[in-house]
Amino acid sequence: MTTLITGGAKCGKSRLAEKLLDDFTGSKIYIATMMPYGEEALAAIARHRKIRAGKHFMTIDRYTDLDKTEFSENCGILLECMANLCANEMFRGEDICDPTENILRGIIHLQKHAEKLVIVTNNVGSDGIEYSGGTAGYIEVMGRLNARTAELCDNVIECVYGVPVVLKGKLCF
């Protein structure tokens, strides 16, 4: 069972994602994709670790190459978040690349081994602002990546002001 959770910033996506795995009795893995660059990133990482404390997640930091992640079979996995993963992959070298196929390969790898997979992503590009350069390219890739990921998922949920709105499938606690 794979669930994609999308929404804007600070809308309750992470809380919902963790809640979907609350009752999972097997091994629970949290794949963290945020690179610890700068004080703001470090504060966000610390905040998320504090929120997860006591929820029995084993954290794996994986910034790129999701398909190389190793974990036990039939576990519950929370991937947080695809937007960071995309940026890490897209801007990791001198040449900007489209990481869509690499990330999708990684998601399929997780699906093959996880009993329950919850993926958090961001709804980028809906602010109506026209961006240029790398930012515009990133927004375009994220739109394509989110759409292709949604195709792979059983459930797609948009979190709006903390309220889960089912776009595909059902909400499975």
Sorted by where each starts, the structural domains of the chain and their CATH numbers stand as: 2-167 (3.40.50.300)
The reported pLDDT for the residue numbered 170 is 96
Helix, strand, or coil (residue 45)? helix
Taking the CA atoms of residue 131, residue 135, residue 140 and residue 146 in that order, the dihedral angle to the nearest 10 degrees is -120
The reported pLDDT for the residue numbered 10 is 84
pLDDT digits (tens, 9 = 90+) for 89-144: 999 887 888 999 999 999 999 999 999 999 999 998 887 788 888 899 999 999 99
Mean pLDDT of all residues in 164-170: 97
37 pLDDT higher than 90: no
Q: Chain-wide mean pLDDT for the chain?
A: 92
Whole-number percent of the chain with pLDDT over 90: 72
**DSSP structure class, residue 68:** G
Residue 50 in tokens: 């504090």
Whole-number percent of the chain with pLDDT over 70: 100
Mean pLDDT of all residues in 73-102: 92
The reported pLDDT for the residue numbered 50 is 87
Alpha carbon distance, N-terminus to C-terminus of the chain: 12
The reported pLDDT for the residue numbered 75 is 96
Mean pLDDT of all residues in 23-28: 94
Q: Which helix (H) or strand (E) holds 60?
A: strand 57-61
58 pLDDT higher than 80: yes
